[in-house]
Structure 1
Amino acid sequence: MASGPPGPRRALVTGGASGLGRALVAGLVARGDQVLAVDLADERPDTVPEGAEYRLLDVRSQQDWDATLAWLRDTWGGLDLLVNNAGVATGGRIDVEAMADWERVVDVNLLGPARGCHTVVPLLKEQRSGHIVNVASLAGLVHGPGMSSYNATKAGVVALSETLRFELAPFGIDVSVVCPAFFRTNLHESFAGKDTAMQEAGVRLITEASADADDIARVVLDGIDKRRPVILTDRLGRRAYYGKRFARPLYERMMAAQAKRLAGR
């Protein structure tokens, strides 16, 4: 694996008009990369950082992905960095959350990155180079109660990333997965569903977090430059991740206590 700051890259960031996506776009532009920010707005949002290109891309639409791939080939002649960042928040107990909410979060959070990888990998294989970065969550590694749909999709992104890291290495393509804990962003605005108690708890965790999107983006960009397979962005994430691995009984007690409190609601 290569390490150290690379030269200018051609980078595509999904969900690039807000939150962590916007912060990553700004950081990439600042270091001299060519950046294409994609998001759901038909016209370029004011929030997209200056210096970045913008296109409409709904990660649920293979047609949008195909059109963006054609743009990459015609305009840039290739791609060096794909950041699958777009996602939605969800939360709910298994008997409360509707299956329609499951279908929505799977389509965006899991199938969105899968479509992105499926679309650009042939181009990266042709180049025999490239870097795919999938933004998951600490919820992809640590699975607390009351968040089964979100946990399942983010764990799926972690599994997808690990699988592709091995699968694509022979072609000179690196794959990383980002697993941040809660940080201040507009992600809570995407909450939807029937389990309002879980959503209220999620909103508090996001809006009251100490770190913001810019803080997380700086750590993520450093991890991208170093091509780390798993990018943990904060102390809470590292403690939870290594605690689960090396202090499993303590982890089990903590999850059980959370579940007991949840059962009382």
Structure 2
Amino acid sequence: MSRVLVTGGASGLGAALVSRFVAEGHQVLCTDVAEEGPKDYLQLNVRSPEDWAAAVEWCEQNWGGLDILVNNAGIATGGRIDVETLDEWDRVVDINLMGVVRGCRAFTPVFKRQRSGHIVNTASAAGLVHPPMMSSYNTVKAGVVALSETLSHELHPYGVNVSVVCPSFFRTNLGDSIQGEDTSMAATARQLIEKSPRTADDIAAGVITGIKKKQFLIIPDRPALMAWRTKRFARPLYDRQMRKIAARARERAEAAARG
């Protein structure tokens, strides 16, 4: 039985992971930004170093440590580079990238002392393949992948495993977090999320399997896997697909400008 902390655990993929961990008999601390939540819940804003310190203290006092840290909390964002504002960039960097950094920094001393532990960082297929009109989201998710790879080597001598999760679109409430000036891009992203045939529980099942196998790169669905393989092994095809997407976006933007 493992001791598990999940951020963003009140909804979406986080809630699905919490449910699966609990069903398998693990001790699970669900954390999120709301003041109250389910049993074994702790309010944790990933932007707050103080909240992270409190989470470490809770785990040490109640459990004597932690086995699996799941840095899952995040928001959806995106937009054309000349439309999305710098304030929007600051927000997504602070939550989706620096939130993960803060979690890793907070619990790494615990894992080093234990000589054991597993960090699981939720990125996205957007961390591996980079469609147009998604600069900020692609950038932070690629950063999570890079951070995870770095730590997989850095923490290996201490017996600490690291995994990074890279799913494609799946049905969740993530679309509710989309804000910003590029409303056209926001509408497209929301549609892709809501119309996906995959559920958060489908993705969680693949993530749990990857964690058990101690996989570094966990790609839990076929569309994400195929996109990654296309980029790696058929780069000209990948580039053509990305540029078709960009061309269609240009056509829509020009049509909208003409009224």
Give the TM-score normalised by structure 2: 0.96
Give the gaps of 5 or more residues in structure 1: 1-7
- Pairing partner for 2:197 from 210, 225, 230: 210
- Deviation string, structure 1 residues 58-116 (Cα, Å, up to 9, x no partner): 00000000011111111110000000000000010010001100000000000000000
- Measure the CA separation in 2 of the matches of 1:36 and 1:156: 26
Q: In the alignment, is residue 256 of structure 1 matched against residue 249 of structure 2? A: no
Moved over 4 A (4+): none
- Measure the CA separation in 2 of the matches of 1:193 and 1:72: 36
- Measure the CA separation in 2 of the matches of 1:226 and 1:53: 26
SS at 1:89 equivalent: coil
SS at 2:47 equivalent: coil
- Deviation string, structure 1 residues 203-228 (Cα, Å, up to 9, x no partner): 00000000000111011101111110
- Pairing partner for 2:60 from 65, 68, 73: 73
- Measure the CA separation in 2 of the matches of 1:53 and 1:138: 31
- Measure the CA separation in 1 of the matches of 2:230 and 2:84: 29
- Measure the CA separation in 1 of the matches of 2:15 and 2:191: 22
SS at 1:217 equivalent: helix
- Deviation string, structure 1 residues 167-207 (Cα, Å, up to 9, x no partner): 00000000000000000000000000000000000000000
Name the aligned partner's letter for residue 3 of structure 2: R
Superposition deviation, residue 262 in structure 1: 1.2
- Measure the CA separation in 2 of the matches of 1:252 and 1:42: 45
Superposition deviation, residue 152 in structure 1: 0.2
- Deviation string, structure 1 residues 139-165 (Cα, Å, up to 9, x no partner): 000000000000000000000000000
Superposition deviation, residue 133 in structure 1: 0.2
Map of 1:134 onto structure 2: 121
- Measure the CA separation in 2 of the matches of 1:115 and 1:262: 36
Map of 1:186 onto structure 2: 173
Superposition deviation, residue 258 in structure 1: 0.8
Q: In the alignment, is residue 118 of structure 1 matched against residue 105 of structure 2? A: yes
User: How well do the aligned residues superpose, as a CA RMSD in angstroms?
Assistant: 0.6
Map of 2:228 onto structure 1: 241
Q: In the alignment, is residue 29 of structure 1 matched against residue 26 of structure 2? A: no
Map of 2:136 onto structure 1: 149
Give the TM-score normalised by structure 1: 0.94
Q: In the alignment, is residue 13 of structure 1 matched against residue 6 of structure 2? A: yes
Q: In the alignment, is residue 163 of structure 1 matched against residue 156 of structure 2? A: no
